[in-house]
Structure 1
Amino acid sequence: MAEEQGRKFQHPLSLPLHHSILILSLLASPFRYRRALSLALIICTFPPLILRPYSPDPALSYGIATLWVFTLRVLTIHVFSRPTPEAALYRPQLEPPGAAAGYSLPKKLRWTLSLLVAQRNVGWNNSVVESTAAQQRRRGRWGYAAYVLTKVLGIYLLLDISRTIVLQQEWMLPLDHPAYRPLGDPRRSIPARLVDVATNGGSAWGYMELQYLLLSLIFVGLGDDEASWPPLFGSLWDAYSVQRLWGQVWHRMLRSSLVSWGRAVADCLGIREGTARFLVVVGTSFTISAVGHASAIWTADKSLGGGALRFFLMQAAGVGVETGVVAVWRRVGGGNVQWGKWVGYAWTLAWLTYTCPMQAEEMVTIGLFKTDPVPWSVTRWALGMQ
């Protein structure tokens, strides 16, 4: 096991071993015990990825630990795809059900990778039809490359500006500095907290969007249909409730996996429909997400993780609160009002401002914000800042 100054890090082969198993479990031809064997191997090889950090770099260790989203996706596919993933999941425009079971190795590998990276299952038989995907303009391979590179430059600048602003905040000062205040200090002004939400949210959005666009550029360059790469995020104009923020606006990489488990829990409880089923699905989804995100923080620092856990559980609570308020409003005869959305925007922003420090403070503690998200700061160079 690699070590540095007494700290133990995961074996360098742990990461490629686990993700090779994820791919091979779907790449292998169906056989009687494939599901059981795949689940066992995936579960057994996952703990080393979170029990110890990957490297001394907290950003890299945290990023590696967040790859649990792919682990969850493959587990979900194996558990809920009956009788086999090849029979249950297919691309209607490219193949009939079950055809993937007879594919050659190169073709099956392409099928497997397409299944793993398909956002919201676009192009697959279990996709959710969305206007963003349906209305996506076809640009052609070179037009798409130009679109991606232009957007990447804009995101690069956004990340640079966000990090420059973050570096000026009092919670980035040394702990013994007289002006230091924790990110969640109640004495900090409301405008300062709103800046935190904007910069931290913008940085998280930009970092994920950047990776997604570059990955899509590679796949489209290799011949993938650009329609298979719909926008990763929705419009901020749809964020007029906590539910819509997480279900429609924020990235939906986890949505299909989390909802499957949530529905399974509701079925086990015998809750088949209505608001109760919706709340069980939401509660289960955010609980799984909370554990996953908390484990990524815990990987970098074994004393942390509770803040991330509280943050995501509070999002479920927020959905519950607004669901109850809407139900009461309708019961007393209230209808749709013109100012309803603006109240929703204010509520969602207030809830985020209140809950975000729970997780963000832990990210500050592990040193996640000390690593620059861009290799060279144009903004700081232009302003003459170190």
Structure 2
Amino acid sequence: MSMFCRQCEQTAGGTGCTKVGVCGKNEDIASLQDTLVFGLKGISAYAHHARELGARDEQVDAFMHDALFFTLTNVNFSLERHIEMVLKCGEINLRIMEVLDNAHVTRFGSPAPAQVFTGTKAGPGIVITGHDLLDLEELLKQTEGTGVNVYTHGEMLPAHSYPELRKYKHLIGNFGTAWQNQRTEFENFSGAILVTTNCVMPLTDKCSYGDRIYMRNITGLEGGKQILDRDFSEIIAHAKSLPALPETAGDYTIATGFHHSVILSLADKVVEAVKAGKIKRFFLIGGCDGAKPGRNYYTELAQKVPKDCVILTVACGKYRFNNLEFGDIDGIPRLLDLGQCNNAFSGIQVAVALAKAFNCGVNDLPLSFVLSWYEQKAVAILLTLLHLGVKNIRIGPTPPAFISPNVFKVLNESFGLQLITTPDEDLKAILG
């Protein structure tokens, strides 16, 4: 992300810039400012969805203004002040995740575990990808009784856990996996496609589905058709004109819907299993996924986690292993999908509740965080965990490019933040 050098009045690092770094600063200040801006983008995404549902928070709005103003006018460039602001970003992200979670529950009901069909039903269909549950609700209302079936994709999977969404019988199931697989998966979907956020692969000349793809609101995919309001009549008519989907059984079902309210309702059973030694450790394995080599680490890690451990997962990173069978421990599923990336809030609530039950700090729990990161929302969630003082988080497959080596070193020394290595090495270090 290029920045402007006040002293040279040139793009920092450009041919006309006489300073090293940004505005005469070292790369660590530039790194922290970039981290803050990326974190703000994540907060903006959650605040956008919350606002669409009628929920706003003055403290979140004020921080957005203050933090962006800070990156423009901070003349003294204090490293300590930048670290403070970055951690404050994590605090505010926690706040907006809670606001969004409450808005989702108020509108769509309390999530409950669901087994989601992954095949298709004969007839016309629309697949919806992204994150916006309000778009899905309106699409379901407008397609009801039309003969057009609706399928979720990617981060829309957790929609099946909300009672006010799954009550629609033509919400058939989940088609496909994570966003980076869209090109292959959408080629194999004969219906229309609705994209609700920018977790989307750009169209290329090889994409045959370009004329079938529609975008909602802020989504900026070049080549797709824009729907600025929630009038889905055009995409519904288009879906009816396209070849019908075949009847297919699907290779497996996917479990989702383990919101913190669900897990906390099992708290006594979970605590009892831990005390009895039946559950030895919890692993939170998830985050934002991508196509870069090395991400198969998360599949292998989940497969190698001992059978007396429970895996919590969140965001699209779950697709690395949520098609596998993990069994249960005394009726407690070993794989618990918390939901969308913003449902990292549920993971935090579970950790806090367990710490309270065992009368210890979160870092004293048998709980390990192994996260995949890709973009802004993952950065915001990582900052939230650091704000809460969570230590020894492993991230990968590579460090964020905008975090300088020295800043990463500070995070390692202060919080134990570290890169993943291999599943075997990391499990050996975690399990001792």
After TM superposition, the score normalised by the length of structure 1 is 0.25
After TM superposition, the score normalised by the length of structure 2 is 0.23
Is the helix fraction higher in 1 or 2?
1
